[in-house]
A and B are shown apart, each in its own frame.
Chain A
Amino acid sequence: MSQTKSHLILLLSAGILLLVVFLLYLKTGYFNTTWEHIFQALTNPRDEVSSTVVWSFRLPRILMAFLAGAALSVAGMLMQNLFQNTLAGPDVLGITSGSSLLVALWMMTGITALGSTTDLIFLGILGAMGMGSIMLLFALKLRSAVHLLLIGLMLSSFIGAIIAIIQASSATQDLQQYVFWNFGSLQRVTIQQIPWIAIITSLGVVLSLFQVRSLNAMVLGEEIAKSLGVSIRKVRIKSILIAGILTGVITAFAGPIAFVGLAIPNVTKLLMKTQNHRVLLFSNILFGALFLGVCDFAIKLLESYVAIPLNALTALLGVPFVGWMILKNRHVTG
């Protein structure tokens, strides 16, 4: 069987699973809803309990899970490509912490400019892009990706320290709001916000699509990529900006979500057995969405028995899986 065929089969099954998870998610919950209810609510929402449940609680949450999974995985893919390091991810570059900083400032100083949610979105992206730009300045000066990685890690700690100082001097109730945001939650997003997140995420995906040529060449290492006519500077700038957009919008709405951006790109690479980034891009979107969708579905199923925070579950499910993948493929080396 040719690789293209197996790719198609994998992607198709991921797509079908995604649909199944989506439908099951809409059906499952504390309220007993029939398929008729769901269909009714989706096509002709009325002022009924089932409509409210679907539109306020189930639909935005599962869509957010899909969007966050996809966006963070693509961001992770870009970062791992840029740093030629499978341990890179949006958090490593300090991009997530950039969002955290502005959100922390906003929540703990109590300054509101445009009104609650708009502020949050705007600041989340601005923070991620700001950190992205700072990383960019370093990226233009530094030749080595390892140095960049180190700078990213250091800046994360630096921002962590600033946030800690803000926390120490902020009023308790403001602190509380930040602590809750910091938990990471897909529940917070409303259906009105979903289109915005979807548009911004799609923008990041489309921009990534224009990067495929360079991303593929980067696989051979920066030196050879350069000899293939790829401008390393431009790749770095674009990768950081796109990862900033994707991570920023998700972090603003859902808080920092760990592990997905690191694990899914690795899993995808191992499953698809390719470094063709056109394939990887779409695979990351589908697998990332599926992973977080399944995670959140599991959380919901277990809700009445045990409370599992999202970040705990992603790690709980993901770590053994990635470990197994790495062990299984340990004979395959770079």
Chain B
Amino acid sequence: MKKNSIKLLFIGFLFLFLGCNTSKTKGADATIGKSRYSQWLSYTKTELGIKLFIKDPDGKAATRIILCTTHPEQVKSMSTTMEVLDINKIRLATNAATHVGMLVSLNARECIGAVSLGKYLHDPTLKKQFKKDKLLELGGTSIPFESLSKKHINVWVSAGMEPLDQANEERFKSLAIQWIPNYDWREEHPLGKAEWLLFFGAITNRFDEAQLQFNAICKRYNKFKKLPKGNSCQKILVGNFAGDYWYSPLQNSFQARFFNQVDFCTFSMNYKGTGSMAVGAERIYQEAEACELWLNPGFPTKQAILNAFPKAIQLRPFTQGSIFCYSHDLNKFWEQSALMPDIVLRDLIRIKQGNSADAMLYFYREVK
């Protein structure tokens, strides 16, 4: 339990603060599907349904090709590389808040059979369902196979954190549960991440709706992107200490993509890489001297920041500038932000423009 909650925290921490550290190898080989922004997901419409192509970001496993269909019986030419997913009655289990958010957005709540922990839910309807004991809590570090089958789960959507070993593969198979990886958290482009909405659209038989929503997101995001944000690169401080080190996003990280759009700069964005860099306190102190804004410290109040790191008081934005974070409602952020990159962007633009009253921001709040 302990390990698990720490792990969950880290999963969140990882993809919010650190992004990912793997090299990207973009290519359209082995897939004939298309995507607009996503690196790891592509798709194509066929007569029988949507074909999903899911690439392994680590390049270890072969690309998964999944045909999502309401007429599995009509699939004749069974190829060995392609799997068939019967989407007539999907009940899925997922450990990631992002997945929950996407399913909620597609109004596919009834497809959710199991979530990581009830306390991480944001959507009120799901919360109610959880209280009525309709949702299974995955909780522990091991996969609760027995409960999965009891709750008639037939799809396990995995963030790919737990590698699928032989034994578990057999177990999933024997319970007729399909294990499908979802690498939205490995995406570097905000819209690439949002594009995984189509993944859920395909497996819940709501592909057209998903496409509509996704196109709208892209449109809004690109519109905000074009808004004037002031010209020069405004230096900001990003992140916080974890132990003795401060983690700050690198040039191609997920976070940095947003900051780039808003012309926010932080020193670590001068370094190439997709993850984050660890730097010592002294350097942060020096970098902070040039900043008036501190984003994403990971705590909702200044007091909480101080409790964790008393020396934050030495950082210029803490005393002479302003701090913004989404920590006051993490569940909301985790569930919704992947699908609302436009709103994240809008929040950041408003923060930059000083138009940052609580009512003007959706995810962010000033840390006081």
Contact = CB atoms under 8 A, between A and B. Distances in A.
Interface in B72-126: 117, 119-120
B21 interface: no
B311 A309 contact: no
B282 A53 contact: yes
B309 interface: yes
A172 B331 contact: yes
A187 B285 contact: no
A176 B280 contact: no
A53 B285 contact: yes
A184 to B, nearest CB: 7
Nearest to B2: A164
Nearest to B330: A172
Contact of A299 (B12, B244, B306, B330): B244
Given A180-B243, A299-B244, A31 B282 contact: yes
Interface size on B, as a range, is 35 or more
Interface stretch (B46-54, B161-169, B191-199, B296-304): B296-304
A235 B303 CA distance: 42
A233 interface: no
A186 B244 contact: yes
Nearest to B314: A56
B242 A180 contact: yes
Contacts of B290: none
Given A53-B282, A116-B303, A173-B304, A167 B6 contact: yes
Given A57-B282, A172-B9, A107 B244 contact: no
Contacts of B286: 30-31, 49
Contact of B311 (A57, A177, A181, A299): A57
B245 A307 contact: yes
B281 interface: yes
B282 A30 contact: yes
B327 A177 contact: no
A176 B2 contact: no
Contacts of B243: 180, 183-185, 187, 309-310
13 contacts: A52-B285, A56-B285, A56-B314, A168-B5, A169-B119, A180-B243, A180-B308, A187-B243, A303-B245, A303-B279, A309-B245, A310-B243, A310-B244
Interface of A: 29-31, 49, 52-53, 56-58, 61, 107, 116-117, 120, 160, 163-165, 167-169, 171-173, 175-177, 179-181, 183-190, 193, 299-300, 303-304, 307, 309-310
Given A116-B307, A180-B242, 10 more contacts: A49-B286, A116-B310, A117-B310, A160-B2, A173-B327, A173-B330, A187-B244, A188-B309, A188-B310, A309-B244
Q: List the 3 closest A-B pairs by CB distance, nearest first.
A: A164-B2, A307-B278, A183-B243
